[in-house]
Chain A
Amino acid sequence: MSTVVIRNGHLVDPGAGVDAVKDILFKDNRVVEIAAPGKLKLLNGATDVKSLDATGLIVAPGLIDIHVHLREPGQGYKETIASGTAAAAAGGFTAVAAMPNTTPVNDSAEITRWMQASERGAHVRVFPIAAATRGSKGENINDYAALKAAGAVAVTDDGHPILKDSVMRETLAAAARVGLSVIQHAEDTRLTQGASMNAGPMAFKLGLRGMSTEAESGIVERDIRLITELRDARAHLHVAHTSTAAAIAAVRQARRNGLRVTCEVAPHHFLLTDEHIGCYNTNFKMNPPLRSAADRDAMIEAILDGVVDAIATDHAPHAMHEKEVEFEKAPNGITGLETALGLCIRYLHGDLKMPLGRVLSLLSAQPAAVLGLKGRGTLAVGSCADAVIFDPKAEWIYRATEGKSKAKNTPFDGWTMQGKVRWTICEGHVVYTNPA
């Protein structure tokens, strides 16, 4: 039996409405008691207690990233489940949802179980997201009941958006029947052939082909139309890594119409613009691409006014040699697990004065709600013993070479972060410690 006591920390649990200094008691994988400092009652007689002094620190529900690429099976040279989840733990995350664009594509119960097996050496909880269609080819939908039974929490063909209306309609309907969410990477790939950045003045200047904002918003609008026509209250569409003002506007309207449509935004999309690509730096290449300042501002506004349900990193590790190539040839994606908290606190809480509880909610309670992860994203008694303990004032400089991820492809190398993780506790175990 493992017992952990966190003493004197400032508990910020937006899901449970707590914002006060507390002592917290975990036994095994459960929050068993929360009390005023020194007032824990259920600790009596416990032996082998791990005690953490969180004086002056924030204690929050373990962060949840619902959009990561862990690259296993098949692409372990980029990242492994072990290295990716070590990066997650270092970033304060206690659960991650892993995308199915592996080799082979995770379109089976077998691979879904394989990813969760203890042999993978995961440091935090991995929730597989399975492929929506066989091989993510956008033609034949998978057996969602079997995938759900194996532990999949959603379905998507991330990176290979489902273009055919008939297939997307069937996907939404079939997923609704078994209670799974459908996540769409919204990109009309018929319009983005050969493109490697956002369409606009910068693309013209750099002589690169651009992806229009309509290629994203067109698919979001199409998907919303399909879910409207479906008239099934259980149907849930989640728009991955929203990057354009038009897509946000579509989500906003869908919500007003009472539809179950949610969306996430990645830190790079509310911090960076296509001008940051500079001299063809491939660490600024991802999909969806960095957009114009107007789109970037729309992401900020949507985060502030509550349309955005989650901050998700789209952690996409690549090997050094894959990114050290011509911009057009470089694979899309950047890492994000180790920088998300530091960027969100510095910019959303620091610059934009968003209350800390709301920032943390976007990184825990709300993403847990998006994917229906029971007992996660809150530290209410009875919940999973997932917590992050961090110093909200500490500033530090992120160095990619010192990170836990195998990959170093980040645009944030050398950036000053705010909020230093001291401990990450996943399911009652301390999975990351960083001495002050």
Chain B
Amino acid sequence: MSPTASAARRPFHPPQLAPSPFPYHPGSLLSIQDLTLESLNHILTRATALTNQDPLKRDRILAKRRVALLFYESSTRTRTSFELAAKALGCDTTLVSSLSSSIEKGESLKDTGLTIRALGAEAIILRHNSSGAPWLLEECTRLPVLNAGDGMHEHPTQALLDLRTILAHVRPGVTEVNADTLAGVTVTITGDILHSRVARSNMLLLPRLGAHVLLCGPKELLPELAISEGPGVSIERDFEAALRKSRVVMMLRIQGERLAGLQLDLEEYKANYQLTGDRLRKLAPQAIVMHPGPIIRGLELTAGVADGAQSTILEQVSNGVAIRMAVVERALTAGMNGGRA
């Protein structure tokens, strides 16, 4: 008899843990999993409505409300689009970044959060290099926290803007999503899955809407246990085979800053996984090419593909502003209209 089998036969009941208290605040967005289908649709609808609204009326929605951007990692797209989104709604924004603040002097995340709250911030947008940091910040401040990327964990607004981009091309005209909206659509995510918060958030979101997510990459960057993330996710190591099935091809950057000593043969990587014009033309002529940025031209994809007709890379960036307007609005108005919108 195996040890596990006989141990399992006996009744053994350590307490179930209480349901997670997170998010404490109905306006928070910590994980893409926190969103019900209803709140997901609310965000998508508001993103479109706010984008189409007269800018001179839009900036009265959250006039003079205070939003802080707390960034422990460098960022171009996420930081700027969050800032533009908040300002488009009339918010005052302030940026606290780790390199130009008392964080350099050793101030903790808790104390930084409490300081920002004391300065009048009503919501904090956090980018942090440690997975899970948004949970800590929310627990300490009890303010709505928007996760703008935490370590290797999640990047929920990226998944939302990716969804908006995918819908525009794959399901044009669809304004409301459900469990079947993306049925039959295969999305291949290729590259450094292990270190990617973008991959994790998309792997959690897209299958909920019926999409099939194929993960592609070498073992060092894509461990087998990645598929344990949830249903609707599988691994295809052969990039060309994956391309043949894909309606959406999402390429990821190799995150040199998180490789932690991992040695990678880049020439071999390019030979196996680089998205070239040739591969795209032959294997996935109908697919859209996505990338969360920053892109490294000539590594995960060629310059021709990045600039090509199938690329939606800059459209994703624009959609970032739309989505972030909606989540900032939700952060500052949730609770006012009776709970999580």
| Residue ranges of A at the interface with B (Cβ–Cβ < 8 Å) | 193-194, 200-201, 204-209, 245, 271-272, 276, 278-280, 294, 297-298, 300-302, 304-305, 321, 324-329, 347, 351-353, 415-416
CA distance A328 to B154 in the complex (A): 15
Pair A301/B131 contact, Cβ less than 8 Å: no
Cβ-neighbour of A326 out of B17, B133, B152, B197 (below 8 A): B133
Q: Is B13 an interface residue (CB 8 A)?
A: yes
CA distance A258 to B120 in the complex (A): 68
Pair A279/B229 contact, Cβ less than 8 Å: no
Instruction: Chain A residues near B8: list those with CB within 8 A.
Output: 297
* B133, closest chain A residue (CB): A326
Pair B225/A201 contact, Cβ less than 8 Å: yes
Q: Ordered nearest first, which 8 A-B pairs have the shortest CB separation?
A: A207-B153, A280-B132, A207-B152, A326-B130, A207-B131, A301-B3, A201-B228, A301-B7
Pair A279/B22 contact, Cβ less than 8 Å: yes
Say whether, besides A207-B153, A347-B12, A297 and B226 are in contact (CB < 8 Å): no
Cβ-neighbour of A327 out of B10, B131, B197, B200 (below 8 A): B131
| Residue ranges of B at the interface with A (Cβ–Cβ < 8 Å) | 3-4, 6-8, 10-15, 17, 20, 22, 108-110, 128, 130-133, 135-136, 140, 150-154, 194, 197, 200, 223, 225-226, 228-229, 260-261
Pair A193/B140 contact, Cβ less than 8 Å: no
Cβ-neighbour of B132 out of A206, A272, A302 (below 8 A): A206
Pair A294/B4 contact, Cβ less than 8 Å: yes
What would 9 more interface pairs be, CB under 8 Å, given A204-B229, A326-B130? A193-B260, A194-B260, A279-B22, A297-B4, A300-B7, A301-B6, A324-B140, A329-B130, A352-B12
CA distance A279 to B136 in the complex (A): 9
Say whether, besides A201-B225, A201-B228, A353-B10, A207 and B108 are in contact (CB < 8 Å): no
* A353, closest chain B residue (CB): B10
Pair A301/B4 contact, Cβ less than 8 Å: yes
* A284, closest chain B residue (CB): B17
Say whether, besides A204-B228, A207-B200, A328 and B14 are in contact (CB < 8 Å): no
Pair A325/B110 contact, Cβ less than 8 Å: yes
CB distance from B6 to the nearest CB of A (A): 6
Say whether, besides A294-B4, A297-B3, A204 and B197 are in contact (CB < 8 Å): no
Instruction: Chain A residues near B135: list those with CB within 8 A.
Output: 279-280
Instruction: Chain B residues near A298: list those with CB within 8 A.
Output: 3-4, 7
Pair B110/A300 contact, Cβ less than 8 Å: no
What are 14 A-B interface contacts by the 8 Å CB criterion? A204-B194, A207-B150, A207-B151, A276-B17, A279-B22, A280-B136, A301-B7, A304-B7, A324-B140, A325-B136, A347-B12, A351-B12, A352-B11, A416-B15
Instruction: Chain B residues near A245: list those with CB within 8 A.
Output: 3-4
Instruction: Chain B residues near A324: list those with CB within 8 A.
Output: 108, 110, 136, 140
Instruction: Chain A residues near B15: list those with CB within 8 A.
Output: 415-416
CB distance from A187 to the nearest CB of B (A): 17
Cβ-neighbour of B130 out of A301, A305, A327 (below 8 A): A327
Instruction: Chain B residues near A351: list those with CB within 8 A.
Output: 10-13
* B193, closest chain A residue (CB): A204
Instruction: Chain A residues near B13: list those with CB within 8 A.
Output: 351
Pair B229/A205 contact, Cβ less than 8 Å: yes
* B108, closest chain A residue (CB): A325
CA distance A271 to B222 in the complex (A): 31
CA distance A321 to B229 in the complex (A): 32
- Scoring A207, A329, A416 by chain B CB atoms within 10 A of each residue's CB, the highest score goes to A207
Pair A327/B132 contact, Cβ less than 8 Å: yes
- Scoring B12, B200, B261 by chain A CB atoms within 10 A of each residue's CB, the highest score goes to B12
Instruction: Chain A residues near B153: list those with CB within 8 A.
Output: 206-208
* A346, closest chain B residue (CB): B14
CA distance A200 to B227 in the complex (A): 11
Pair A321/B108 contact, Cβ less than 8 Å: yes
CA distance A200 to B6 in the complex (A): 24
* A354, closest chain B residue (CB): B10
CA distance A290 to B265 in the complex (A): 34
Instruction: Chain B residues near A301: list those with CB within 8 A.
Output: 3-4, 6-7
* B31, closest chain A residue (CB): A279
CB distance from A305 to the nearest CB of B (A): 8
Instruction: Chain B residues near A204: list those with CB within 8 A.
Output: 194, 223, 225-226, 228-229
CB distance from B128 to the nearest CB of A (A): 7
Pair A208/B131 contact, Cβ less than 8 Å: yes
CB distance from A266 to the nearest CB of B (A): 14
* A343, closest chain B residue (CB): B14
Instruction: Chain B residues near A206: list those with CB within 8 A.
Output: 131-132, 153
Instruction: Chain A residues near B260: list those with CB within 8 A.
Output: 193-194, 209
CB distance from A270 to the nearest CB of B (A): 9
Instruction: Chain B residues near A201: list those with CB within 8 A.
Output: 225, 228-229
Cβ-neighbour of A297 out of B7, B17, B194 (below 8 A): B7
* B14, closest chain A residue (CB): A271
Say whether, besides A206-B153, A327-B131, A279 and B20 are in contact (CB < 8 Å): yes
Pair A347/B131 contact, Cβ less than 8 Å: no
- Scoring A206, A276, A321 by chain B CB atoms within 10 A of each residue's CB, the highest score goes to A206
CB distance from B232 to the nearest CB of A (A): 15
* A348, closest chain B residue (CB): B12
Pair A326/B109 contact, Cβ less than 8 Å: yes
Instruction: Chain A residues near B228: list those with CB within 8 A.
Output: 201, 204-205
Instruction: Chain B residues near A305: list those with CB within 8 A.
Output: 3
Cβ-neighbour of A207 out of B7, B17, B197, B261 (below 8 A): B197
CA distance A297 to B12 in the complex (A): 10
CB distance from A172 to the nearest CB of B (A): 28
CA distance A193 to B6 in the complex (A): 35
- Scoring A245, A301, A326, A351 by chain B CB atoms within 10 A of each residue's CB, the highest score goes to A326
- Scoring A194, A204, A327 by chain B CB atoms within 10 A of each residue's CB, the highest score goes to A204
CB distance from B32 to the nearest CB of A (A): 12
CB distance from A53 to the nearest CB of B (A): 33
CA distance A298 to B131 in the complex (A): 30
Cβ-neighbour of A347 out of B14, B17, B194, B200 (below 8 A): B14
CA distance A298 to B13 in the complex (A): 16
CB distance from B136 to the nearest CB of A (A): 6
CA distance A208 to B11 in the complex (A): 32
Instruction: Chain B residues near A325: list those with CB within 8 A.
Output: 108-110, 136
CB distance from A48 to the nearest CB of B (A): 46
Instruction: Chain A residues near B14: list those with CB within 8 A.
Output: 271-272, 347
Say whether, besides A278-B20, A351-B10, A326 and B136 are in contact (CB < 8 Å): yes
